[in-house]
C-alpha cells in the first residue's frame, strides 16, 4: 500500500469507480475518517507488508470465551462477536484470515463501492448481501459503501493525520474520538461497514430512507448500529450513524431489543471462575 501525497490523484481514484457504478458525483464524505482517508490509496493490496502473523482468532477474552452466560442472553460467538475498543485493542500484526472481496458477492445494483477492491469478513459480506436484497424487496435501494476492512497501516495513517491536525488528540480518554486508535478500530476486523446512500455519502442521521431502513432492520441480519449518539461515553466513539458492525443475528437482536452497545452486552456477562 502506498500513501498518496497528491490529493487530486486520490480523489480521482475514489470518484471514478463511483461514477462508473452509477452513484452520483455529488457524494459528500460525512465522517472525519472518510474525509482524511482521501489521501490513502485503497486500491492497493490490503495485506500489510512485513507482517507474518496471520490469525482469524483474537485472544480469548476478546472473543468472549472467558465469560459465563445467563440463560436469557446469547453466548458470544467467537471472532464474530469480538469486542474491539480502546480497552480491547488488537495486535498491530493481526490480520483476519477470512477476508473476501465484496464485489465478488454483491453486485452493483445492490451496493455501490467507493473502492471496487474493498474487502470484509466473508460471513459478514454474505449477511450484508442478504440484508440489502431484503431492503430492495422493500423498495429501498441506492446503498453505498464508504469503507470496510482497513489494515493497521491505513488506520495508523488516519490517526497520525488527526494528531497532526489536533496535537494531543486522543490523550484524554474521557473525550469520545472521531478517529479510533490504530489498534482499536473495528475496521481492522473486517466486520465493520461504513454505509450510506448514493449521492449523499455516509449516513449522517436516520432521516434518509436507507438510514431508516437500516436502523429498523439491520439486527435481523446480524448487524448493530455500533456507535449511538447517547452512548458515546460508553463506546468512546462519537455518534457514527454510518457505522454498522456484524456480530451475528442472535447477539444483534439481543442488543437491539435491549438498546445496548456491544460494551454493555459484554458487561452483562459474568466472568468465568
DSSP string, 12-42: HHHHHHHHHTT--TT----SHHHHHGGGB-T
Main-chain dihedrals φ then ψ at residue 142, nearest 5 degrees: 75, 30
Cα 196 → chain centroid: 12
Given pLDDT bands bounded at 50, 70 and 90, which one contains residue 202?
Answer: confident
Query: Contact 155/187 with Cβ under 8 angstroms?
Result: yes
Query: Contact 61/102 with Cβ under 8 angstroms?
Result: no
Residue range 115-144, pLDDT digits in tens: 999 999 999 999 999 999 999 999 999 999
Burial class (CB in 10 A: 0-12, 13-18, 19+), 89: middle
Q: Which of 48, 26, 32, 11 is nearest to 243 (CA)?
A: 32
> Partners of 22 in the beta sheet?
none
Is residue 67 pLDDT above 70, yes or no? no
pTM, to two decimals = 0.79
- Angstrom distance (rounded) from CA 44 to CA 3: 10
Q: Which of 118, 146, 154, 240 is catalytic?
A: 240
Query: Contact 145/53 with Cβ under 8 angstroms?
Result: no
Task: Report DSSP state, residue 94.
Answer: -
Q: What is the mean pLDDT of the chain?
A: 81
Which residues are within 8 A (CB) of 169 and not within 5 positions of it... i.e. 6 or more apart?
A: 162, 163, 177, 179
Whether 240 sits among the annotated catalytic residues: the reply is: yes
Is residue 10 pLDDT above 60, yes or no? no
Query: Contact 186/150 with Cβ under 8 angstroms?
Result: no
Amino acid at each position: 500500500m502506498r500513501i498518496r501525497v497528491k490529493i487530486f490523484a486520490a480523489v480521482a481514484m475514489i470518484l471514478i469507480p463511483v461514477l462508473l457504478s452509477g452513484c452520483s458525483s455529488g457524494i459528500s464524505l460525512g465522517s472525519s475518517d472518510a474525509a482524511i482517508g482521501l489521501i490513502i490509496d485503497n486500491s492497493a493490496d490490503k495485506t500489510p507488508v512485513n507482517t507474518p502473523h496471520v490469525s482469524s482468532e483474537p485472544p480469548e477474552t476478546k472473543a468472549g470465551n472467558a465469560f459465563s452466560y445467563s440463560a436469557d442472553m446469547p453466548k458470544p460467538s467467537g471472532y464474530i462477536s469480538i469486542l474491539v475498543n480502546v480497552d480491547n485493542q488488537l495486535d498491530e500484526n493481526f490480520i483476519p484470515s477470512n477476508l473476501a472481496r465484496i464485489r465478488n458477492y454483491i453486485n452493483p445494483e445492490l451496493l455501490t463501492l467507493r473502492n471496487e477492491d474493498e474487502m470484509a469478513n466473508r460471513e459478514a459480506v454474505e449477511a450484508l448481501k442478504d440484508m440489502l436484497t431484503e431492503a430492495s424487496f422493500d423498495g429501498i435501494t441506492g446503498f453505498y459503501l464508504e469503507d470496510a476492512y482497513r489494515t493497521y497501516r491505513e488506520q495508523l495513517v488516519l490517526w497520525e493525520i488527526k494528531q497532526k491536525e489536533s496535537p494531543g488528540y486522543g490523550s484524554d480518554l474521557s473525550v469520545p474520538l472521531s478517529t479510533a486508535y490504530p489498534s482499536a478500530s473495528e475496521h481492522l476486523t473486517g466486520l465493520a461497514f461504513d454505509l450510506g446512500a448514493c449521492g449523499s455519502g455516509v449516513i449522517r442521521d436516520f432521516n434518509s430512507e436507507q438510514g431508516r431502513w437500516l436502523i429498523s432492520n439491520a439486527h435481523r441480519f446480524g448487524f448493530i448500529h455500533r456507535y449511538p449518539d447517547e452512548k458515546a461515553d460508553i463506546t468512546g466513539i462519537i455518534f457514527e450513524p454510518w457505522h454498522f458492525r456484524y456480530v451475528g443475528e442472535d447477539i444483534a437482536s439481543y442488543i437491539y431489543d435491549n438498546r445496548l452497545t456491544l460494551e454493555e452486552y459484554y458487561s452483562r456477562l459474568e466472568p468465568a471462575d
